[in-house]
Structure 1
C-alpha cells in the first residue's frame, strides 16, 4: 500500500469511529413521544429542555453582533449554507449543536462570525437552537459505503 492509501484508510477509520461514538448520543428521537410531540429535548451538557418552536424563531432572528441570523448563513432549516465551508445543521445531533454553540460562546472554539454570534446566547437559547436544527430534515451523510 502507498502512503496516500494508508493515510486515506486512517482518515476513514478515524471518521468511522467518531461517527459511531456520535450515534449513541442524545438526539431528539431518543426522548419520550410526549416530549418530542411538544418539541422538548434534553442535553448531555446539562442544558434545559430545548423547544423547537422557540429555536425556529431564534434561528430567524438577526443577531446583534453580526446582523445575521442562523438561516442567513446556514440556510433555511440549516441545509443550504451560503459558503461550502459552513456546516449543514439540519438533522445534526442535538448534543453536537449544543456543545458547539457552548464552545463558541465560551471561547473554547473560534470562528470569526460564530464566536461573535454565540457570545450572548443563554443556555436556553442554545438548547432551543439545537432542538430546532436537530429536528429538521437532514442532508447529512455518513461514510457508510464510502469508497
Structure 2
C-alpha cells in the first residue's frame, strides 16, 4: 500500500510534458533518419527503432541525453545531436515517432 501511495504522489510531482506536433516533428527528423531510419525503423541493430515508441519516454530520453544524464552506448553521439534541440523540438519529434507504425 505504501508503494502504491508513493507512486501516486510521484506521478503528481513529475512535470507534465508538452504534447508535440507530429507534422513539425517529421520535418525535424531528418538528422535522426541516418541512424533510426526514415520510418523510425533502424536498419542497423546498434540503433533503436523509434517507430511507435511512447512520446513521453522519447521526450524524457532526449532531455536526459541533452543534460548528460545518460551514458554508455551512443550517449555521447546523441548528446551532440540533441544539444541544439528545444523542448518544443523534442516534443515534436516524440509525437512524430509515436505516430509511426512499429
Larger radius of gyration: 1
2:35 aligned to which of 51, 68, 73 = 73
Q: Distance in 1 between matches of 2:26 and 2:15?
A: 21
CA RMSD between the two structures: 1.4
Shift of 1:54: 0.3
Say if 2:61 is the partner of 1:100. Answer: yes
Q: Distance in 2 between matches of 1:45 and 1:125?
A: 17
1:77-106 deviation per Cα after TM superposition (whole angstroms, max 9, x unaligned): 211x24312100000111111110000011
Higher relative contact order (CA 8 A, sep 6+): 2
Q: Which residue of 1 aligns with 2:8?
A: none
TM-score, structure 1 normalization? 0.55
Q: Report how many residues are paired.
A: 86
4+ long deviations beyond 4 Å: none
TM-score, structure 2 normalization? 0.78
Decide which structure has greater helix share.
Answer: 2
What are the ranges of 5 or more consecutive residues in structure 2 without an aligned counterpart? 1-13
